[in-house]
Amino acid sequence: MAKKSFYKIEMLFLKILEKEDCYGYQLTQSIQDITNGQIKIAEGTMYPILYKLQDQGYVSDRQVKVGKRQTRVYYHLEPAGKEYLSQLTHDYYQMVNYPSHAVQ
């Protein structure tokens, strides 16, 4: 997957986590719902992005036991992640609103 795609997926993950803490499957389902099924994210794509966001201090995780044996890992947006999301959003709108005549 191209770097640009990771950038957009990062932004989607952070935007969803801004509203509530989620576990991995919940994140992928939220993105599918938001995009009317146009974007489907595989675990092999999702987890490396989440781990990268964790390593950078933008997201933290906590384990919650559900049932007798199952544990879910919930991801939480940290203050640094909110700042990063703000920057990503700003950069995205700058790119989208870039005058088309400038690239011709």
Per-residue pLDDT of the chain (104 residues; tens, 9 = 90+): 444 555 688 999 999 999 999 999 999 999 999 989 998 999 899 999 999 999 999 999 999 998 888 999 999 999 999 999 999 998 888 877 776 655 55
- Label residue 53 exposed, middle or buried (CB < 10 Å: 0-12, 13-18, 19+): buried
User: Is residue 70 within 8 Å of residue 56, measured between CB atoms?
Assistant: no
In the chain, alpha helices (H):
3-19, 24-34, 43-55, 79-96
Give residue limits of the domains in the chain: 3-94
Sequence-distant (6+) residues with CB within 8 A of 9 are: 31, 41, 45, 46, 49
Sequence-distant (6+) residues with CB within 8 A of 82 are: 18
Residue 72: phi and psi, rounded to 5, are -105, 145
Write down the CATH number for the domain with range 3-94: 1.10.10.10
**pLDDT attached to residue 83:** 97
| Cα 66 from Cα 88, distance rounded (Å) | 34
**pLDDT attached to residue 5:** 55
